[in-house]
Amino acid sequence: MRSPESAYDRRRLRQWLAGEARAAGVSRRTMLRLLTTAGLAGSVPLPLGAPAAAGPGSAAGSAGAADAPGAADAPGIVKPLPGAWFTVRGTNAETRFASLAETGYHTPNERFFVRNHTATPVLTADDWSLTVWGDGLSHGRPVEFTLDDLKRLPAVTRSAFVECAGNGRGLFAAQQGQSVSGTAWTLGAIGAARWRGVRLADVLRRAGLGPGAVDVMPRGLDADYLTADGTNLGRVRRPLPLSKALDDVLLVHEMNGEPLPHDHGHPVRVLVPSWIGIASIKWVGDIQVSARPLYSPWNTDLYRLFGDSHPAQGSEPLTRQTIKSAWELDWDAGLRAGTEHRLTGRSWSGTGGVVRVEVSTDGGGTWRPARMHDTPRRDGWVRWSVLWRPPAPGPYTLLARATDSGGRTQPDTTVHNTQGYLFDAVVRHPVRAV
Ligand SMILES: Nc1nc2c(c(=O)[nH]1)N[C@H]1C(S)=C(S)[C@@H](COP(=O)(O)O)O[C@H]1N2
Ligand SMILES: [Mo]
């Protein structure tokens, strides 16, 4: 069965092929790959040496990106990263899942994971503006919004998690013996917050959304991203289909009742509920509205599934998050044998609320239901608990397996992909009874 996203991708490709002639920043290589995927290579003339998508010059936000004072151990992250809460991974900070046991449903801003391609730009709300531009606007002229302009639109508050597409990536190696590229997160590249902002739909309509628009592409004000081999991919940006943009996407300026912290996109970020984290562009400075399909490295070479089990030219661009569970325990946590413990964890899914969690304390031999503490909600997680008395000292393996409202259950293994996205397998969590 084709997913709506796949149908969407094909529609975009058809629109492209229908001959809106200009290449909107698509590399020849990318175009060739897309055409090959669609079985159309050779049938369409390719624009040679197409220029990178050009923004409206300096209109892409007037805020200056000052160099962020980085924490000593994570260059570019502004907030403190105490070891009890975070594991630093390059320019990123992973939340230690065990530290969430002390928190409620929402992840405190201080403990929320940070995924930075480069460094947090320290921006000032007063200097910030958002430029909405592109040939998908009916009048074709760029429109600017200040934060005060946004705040005059109807306010929306909602809870949602933001989770990196690579969350759990380290388990491809640790649990499945497979090598993948990218940050080797365990399970803490996720946080849930209460966000406040405005509907992107309201902003787009206010900007003069035209009938021909098909894609919108928010872009961050952080620095250009250079890959390990030195290729400049430009500023972080990823197209969204207009249908999603008009559905439930927000532009948010508050996180858990506070102004959005610097590391999480101050003063304004995009929030794309239930989709992979890269869709939720931080420090958004401009949004291109296009009558043609848009491409960026973040929906072509990145954030698709590549590898032996996937189409030679990659899957469709990833959209919704997958399903996962995590124990609020350190790896190899010590638990007293012969004592009853109340163990806790969380489960979530991008395709529906989690309705059932089963746990095993004997490495998967026997299973029993966990006690659920939250109502299943789309875009949210559920907290759960289970009582367990380790019978004798020694090593044990804890497992938790979630099922969502769509009937999807975590599998035993995740199909490999070279960039380690969307790990969804039941995690084997080692503990020691002492
Ligand atoms: N401008 C910009 N937006 C960005 C990123 C970035 O590096 N720059 N990282 C993305 C990725 S990959 C993820 S997972 C989320 C992480 O959001 P957080 O740092 O607030 O937890 O932000 C997304 N938005
Ligand atoms: Mo991410």
Rounded to whole angstroms, the Cα distance separating 278 from 201 reads 19
Beta bridge pairs of residue 401: 358
How many angstroms does the Cα of residue 165 sit away from the middle of ligand 2? 5
- Say how many CA atoms lie within 13 Å of 7 toward its Cβ: 5
Q: For the chain, percent helix, then strand, then coil, each to nearest 5?
A: 15, 30, 55
Q: Is 283 in the pocket of ligand 1 (CB under 6 A)?
A: yes
How many angstroms does the Cα of residue 219 sit away from the middle of ligand 2? 15
Q: Is 193 in the pocket of ligand 1 (CB under 6 A)?
A: no
Q: Whose CA is nearest to atom 20 of ligand 1?
A: 264
Instruction: Write out the DSSP string of 99-158.
Output: GGGGS-SSPPGGG--B--SS---B--GGG--EEEESTTBSS---EEE-HHHHHTSPPEEE
Rounded to whole angstroms, the Cα distance separating 292 from 115 reads 30
How many angstroms does the Cα of residue 126 sit away from the middle of ligand 1? 22
Radius of gyration of the CA atoms of the chain, in A:
22
Q: What is the pLDDT of residues 111-134, one digit of tens each?
A: 999 999 999 999 999 999 999 999
Residues 366-388: what's their mean pLDDT? 96
Q: Is 117 in the pocket of ligand 1 (CB under 6 A)?
A: yes
**pTM (two decimals):** 0.85
The environment of the single-atom ion ligand 2, i.e. residues with CB closer than 5 A, is: 115, 164, 277-278
Q: Is 161 in the pocket of ligand 1 (CB under 6 A)?
A: no
Q: What is the pLDDT of residues 131-175, one digit of tens each?
A: 999 999 999 999 999 999 999 999 999 999 999 999 999 999 999
Strands 394-404 and 323-327: unpaired
75-78 own/partner pairs: CB under 8 Å, 24+ apart: 75/119, 76/116, 76/118, 76/119, 76/120, 77/114, 77/116, 77/119, 77/120, 77/263, 78/120, 78/122, 78/261, 78/262, 78/263
| pLDDT score at 117 | 97
Q: What is the pLDDT of residues 266-298, one digit of tens each?
A: 999 999 999 999 999 999 999 999 999 999 999
Domain with CATH 3.90.420.10 in the chain: 1-316
Are 120 and 262 in contact by the 8 Å Cβ rule? The answer is yes
221 CA: nearest ligand 1 atom: 1
Residue 267 preceded by cis peptide, ω within 30: yes
Within 8 A by CB and 6+ apart from 160, the residues are 192, 193, 195, 271, 273, 274, 379, 380
> Phi/psi of residue 232, each to 5°?
-90, 115
191 CA: nearest ligand 1 atom: 21
116 CA: nearest ligand 1 atom: 7
Q: Whose CA is nearest to atom 2 of ligand 1?
A: 282
pLDDT above 70 covers a percentage of the chain that reads 83
| pLDDT score at 73 | 73
**Three-state SS for 258?**
strand
Question: Which numeric CATH code is attached to 1-316?
Answer: 3.90.420.10
> Phi/psi of residue 217, each to 5°?
-135, 100
118 CA: nearest ligand 1 atom: 7
Beta bridge pairs of residue 114: 93
Domain with CATH 2.60.40.650 in the chain: 323-433
Q: Whose CA is nearest to atom 10 of ligand 1?
A: 278
| CATH level 2 (architecture), domain 323-433 | Sandwich (2.60)
CA 211 to each of CA 12, 132, 204, 205, 290: distance values in angstroms, whole numbers, following the listed order:
15, 16, 12, 11, 11
Is residue 93 predicted with pLDDT exceeding 60? yes
How many angstroms does the Cα of residue 284 sit away from the middle of ligand 1? 11
Q: Is 280 in the pocket of ligand 1 (CB under 6 A)?
A: yes
Q: What is the pLDDT of residues 389-401, one digit of tens each?
A: 999 999 999 999 9
Are 242 and 216 in contact by the 8 Å Cβ rule? The answer is yes
186: closest CA among 172, 198, 204?
172
pLDDT above 90 covers a percentage of the chain that reads 82
